[in-house]
Structure 1
Amino acid sequence: VGGAVEAFTRGIAQEIAPKRINVVSPGMIDTPMHGADGPERKAATDKRAAGNLIPRAGTAEEVAEAILFVITNDFVTGTTVDVDGGWLLT
């Protein structure tokens, strides 16, 4: 699905220019739902996040910062910003 969204974004960017379109793609994000299914689920999620290049889950604030970046930088368009602690590289 991710590749399709990225390709769609690039295609739409070409069609709607000079208007802009970008995607923010979050990875494992620590939210109140993170441990809502119990301690076993939280432990499994934490273990998975430990495999990131930055070995933890991200925060909602970090995702919000990426969103603000693509909103406020008028020269960024047709791109995907991965906020995943390097998960895609592992």
Structure 2
Amino acid sequence: MSGFVDRKEFEQFEKRIDDKFKTLDSKIDDLPNRFNDKLQIALNSQLETFRKESKEDKKSIITWTLSGTGVIIALVSLIVKLFF
């Protein structure tokens, strides 16, 4: 066996290398689609989290407002009873 590569063997290597480059090219071409999908999923998840947080904030604001109003009314009525 000599240290040289014959034509048939060279063509096989060339075909393998070409196939690997085609695979790499197809994966590189598919990257924008994958990133777009992942970005869309992440944005939807973040939007859903934001909606839940804003809903909870709205509930707590309403609760505090009603509680505060009730306390103020109770204090005013107590003051009115004491002085009048």
Larger Rg: 2
Larger RCO of the pair (alpha carbons < 8 Å, separation 6+): 1
Q: Higher strand fraction: Structure 1 or Structure 2?
A: 1
**TM-score normalised according to structure 2 size:** 0.21
TM-score, normalisation: structure 1: 0.20
Structure with the larger helix share: 2
